[in-house]
Chain A
Amino acid sequence: MKTGQLLYLAKLSLKSTKKSNKIIIFMLAVSMIILIPVTVLWISVNVSVNKQINSMPYMLYSEAEIKDYRLEDEGVDEGLDGKQNISEFEDIETKIVYERYYLTNAFAMVDVVVSLGGQEYALNKEERFYNVIDIDKSDYFFPKNLNSYGSVFADNCDKSFDGNGKKQVIVCEKLLDEIGVEKEDAYGKKITVSSSTPYYDGYLCYEYEIVGIIRKEVSAMYDGADTFMSALLFFCSSNVYDEKGEGVLKPVMTGNGYEYGFVNIDKKDVLNKEYMMIGLGSTSYEIDSFASTHIFIESSSYKKLAQINDSLIHKAISLDTSQLFAKYKQLYDISNVLTFIFASAGTVLLIITIMYYYLNIKHDIEKRKNFLTVMRAVGAHDKDIPKVYMMQSNIICAIASLIFLVIGLALCISIKYAVAAIMKVSGISVAISVSWSMIFISLFGMIAIMFAITNIIAFVCTVRLSKQSIIEILHKEQ
């Protein structure tokens, strides 16, 4: 039979068992509605927390180690030809060559800290001093369409970093969320930003005025590279390095950009300049295999490098992360309890519904056995019998889905915003977000499951009857 005719017959048949069908539709919709919030919530918590745990550098603190890639890299064992510092070279060209070579190889990796990267070679300066703690790919610092600020990478980082001399910056909305500043209040506020090239006069580490906020949607477009957001976390410090590379580092924040947390200060204190705020970048400087939870430090002075390493590794290992883990655990516990309660209720109801549906079809088929068989006698193909019942299932599911979609979507939206609000109010430093894609996947996934189950039931209940001999069925009745 053709689909149109099947649909017609299915509708006719459903009309004759209106009452039980209404009950089934209602039960299906309700069980799905009970199940949807926990599904969404549970997935959200798990996805978000797992993502954050995985991106947390403190996970690696216990294994923190310094590697001197200069020594490992083939052919550069001698370092700077026995010299201690690049500045010992007479010839500027050689200096540059060595410096670049050296920079790409002689860096240490620690599992902790960061500042913003990008280097400017001051070719006109005889004396060079390099202490850059780098996040790579900083060319994503500003989105290209905000061209008044340009890119901060390399050649123009001096100009962009002080906002073309205006000492202004644009920050990401997410950063404001984190430090608890309302968007409306942010404009004109001063935020301290450290320069990527601290040795360079003029844009070392200044207060910058917030003149722009990049909306989350915009920054999300650049999230693919992993770095846009991380760069926009900014690096606030009143005390990073001076020209000589001296200074105190106080790491307060970690993360890989869009999943991050504050580890040892209150978010609100980020604005109070005493701390350096650190983000974590993905580093793929020359060697692709650096994990995104690693950063690297470069220095033109080997001694200095070792010094920085020493100070950082110490800080790294001394960080206390037990509180954060406790928070994660708490979140997991809450979500698991909620999931258990709702999921069991929803599942039980769903099972009852399915059983009821099964018995209902069985009963219906028993009642209409002769008619269904006569349908075959007058020309319906054997497989049309299951098809009619599967079509009935589809109609029932379509109506149930409609109800479920409206209420379920409303529920999911409430959850989405409730979660966001709770996160804001509770001050939990774990970013749990319910994404639209997750909501839609869950909603339509459950609808698909509902269609599948009811279709299978319809098929299982009817397939035997449709294969039995027409005559035998009618013979028995006489």
Chain B
Amino acid sequence: MIKINDVSKAFGQGAGSVVALDNINLTIESGKFVAITGKSGSGKSTLLNIVGALEKPDTGYVEIDGENLNILKADSLANFRNKKLGYVFQSFYLEPEFSVIENVALPLLIAGEKKADREEKAKIMINKLGLFDKTSEKVKNLSGGQKQRVAIARALVNDPDIILADEPTGNLDSANGNEVIEILRQIANDGKTVLMVTHNLQDANVADYKITLKDGKIIETTE
């Protein structure tokens, strides 16, 4: 369960300061697929990053499965991200020179797992995402849709409880986009919490519920 308590965040100082999040309170049950929508600059990514332990709020705190992220130190926070969270980014952020399996296994490598275990787990994930024949292919040779599936495999490989996806379809055509949304839907059906930021209303409709932000505030929550 994710609990967001009175979270606010501003960037910059003085007159030029921008309030990205304004006193957000939200509870997300485990196993739900949540879409966060809103106009550009409404604070979607900021919210996701704070939940994803990549950024600290100015006030308030986020609790994930009872753990207050504010009080964790940098290294513990990194370990927490490694164990509990999986990220999918709009621009994938894969290493183009590494193979699919090397990219997918990265979180396991960081977790200190042995090579055999890493490869076994990574292969299962690669197969699950239908990239079986690309296992040893360098990522730079893949299409955008394939890359995003590699990124999803990487996010899932450590068996995290929560998947955070910021505009996962933003760089994809609609066919590939739909496929990714389908995969995320499936992940949520399998019991993981999925938080997805998107502009695309169609994509948002696939989620269990939709949160709409405006100027850093939640203006609507729809089932």
A-to-B contact residues, CB < 8 Å: 1-2, 5, 8-9, 12, 15-16, 368, 370-371, 373-382, 384, 469-471, 474, 477-478
- Residues on the A chain within 8 Å of B102, using CB: 12
* Bound Cα distance A374, B52 (Å): 12
* B91 in the interface (beta carbon within 8 A): yes
Tell me whether B115 and A478 are in contact (CB under 8 A): no
Tell me whether A371 and B110 are in contact (CB under 8 A): no
Further pairs besides A5-B109, A374-B89, A375-B110: 4, Cβ < 8 Å: A371-B94, A377-B87, A379-B83, A474-B93
B93-105 Cβ-contact flags toward A at 8 Å (1 or 0): 1110110001000
Tell me whether B55 and A378 are in contact (CB under 8 A): no
* Bound Cα distance A434, B9 (Å): 69
- Chain A residue at smallest Cβ distance from B97: A16
- Chain B residue at smallest Cβ distance from A9: B109
Tell me whether A378 and B97 are in contact (CB under 8 A): no
- For the complex formed, measure the closest distance between the CB of A377 and the CB atoms of chain B, giving whole angstroms: 6
* B66 in the interface (beta carbon within 8 A): no
* B74 in the interface (beta carbon within 8 A): yes
Tell me whether A379 and B82 are in contact (CB under 8 A): yes
* Bound Cα distance A478, B52 (Å): 18
The 9 lowest CB-CB distance pairs between A and B, nearest first, are A379-B82, A16-B97, A374-B93, A371-B95, A379-B110, A378-B107, A370-B93, A2-B112, A380-B110
Q: List 11 A-B contacts (CB under 8 A).
A: A16-B97, A374-B93, A377-B54, A378-B110, A379-B110, A379-B158, A381-B74, A471-B49, A474-B89, A477-B91, A478-B91
- Chain B residue at smallest Cβ distance from A467: B74
Which residues of B (101-124) have their CB < 8 Å from a CB of A? 102, 106-107, 109-112, 115
Q: How many B residues touch the partner, as a band?
A: 20 to 34
- Residues on the B chain within 8 Å of A477, using CB: 91
- Residues on the B chain within 8 Å of A373, using CB: 93
Tell me whether B98 and A12 are in contact (CB under 8 A): yes
Tell me whether A379 and B54 are in contact (CB under 8 A): no
B117-159 Cβ-contact flags toward A at 8 Å (1 or 0): 0000000000000000000000000000000000000100010
- Residues on the B chain within 8 Å of A370, using CB: 91, 93
B-to-A contact residues, CB < 8 Å: 49, 52, 54-55, 74-75, 78-79, 81-83, 86-87, 89-91, 93-95, 97-98, 102, 106-107, 109-112, 115, 154, 158
Tell me whether A368 and B95 are in contact (CB under 8 A): yes
Question: Which residue, A5, A12, A377, A384, has most C-beta atoms of chain B within 10 A?
Answer: A377
* Bound Cα distance A370, B93 (Å): 6
The answer to whether residues A379 and B78 also contact, given A9-B109, A16-B98, A371-B95 and a CB cut-off of 8 A, is yes
Contact of B109 among A8, A15, A376 (CB under 8 A): A8
Contact of A381 among B75, B97, B98, B107 (CB under 8 A): B75
* Bound Cα distance A414, B112 (Å): 47
Tell me whether B54 and A471 are in contact (CB under 8 A): yes
Tell me whether A8 and B115 are in contact (CB under 8 A): yes
- Chain A residue at smallest Cβ distance from B111: A379
Question: Which residue, B82, B110, B111, B154, has most C-beta atoms of chain A within 10 A?
Answer: B110
* Bound Cα distance A12, B79 (Å): 23
* Bound Cα distance A471, B91 (Å): 14
* Bound Cα distance A478, B55 (Å): 17
Tell me whether A379 and B79 are in contact (CB under 8 A): yes
* Bound Cα distance A368, B93 (Å): 9
Tell me whether A378 and B87 are in contact (CB under 8 A): yes
The answer to whether residues A377 and B112 also contact, given A12-B98, A368-B95, A471-B49 and a CB cut-off of 8 A, is no
- For the complex formed, measure the closest distance between the CB of A201 and the CB atoms of chain B, giving whole angstroms: 86
- Residues on the A chain within 8 Å of B86, using CB: 378
- For the complex formed, measure the closest distance between the CB of A21 and the CB atoms of chain B, giving whole angstroms: 13
* Bound Cα distance A73, B128 (Å): 100
- For the complex formed, measure the closest distance between the CB of B92 and the CB atoms of chain A, giving whole angstroms: 9
- For the complex formed, measure the closest distance between the CB of B80 and the CB atoms of chain A, giving whole angstroms: 8
Contact of A379 among B49, B94, B97, B107 (CB under 8 A): B107
- For the complex formed, measure the closest distance between the CB of B130 and the CB atoms of chain A, giving whole angstroms: 22
* Bound Cα distance A374, B98 (Å): 14
- Residues on the A chain within 8 Å of B49, using CB: 471
- Residues on the A chain within 8 Å of B112, using CB: 1-2, 5
- Chain A residue at smallest Cβ distance from B98: A12
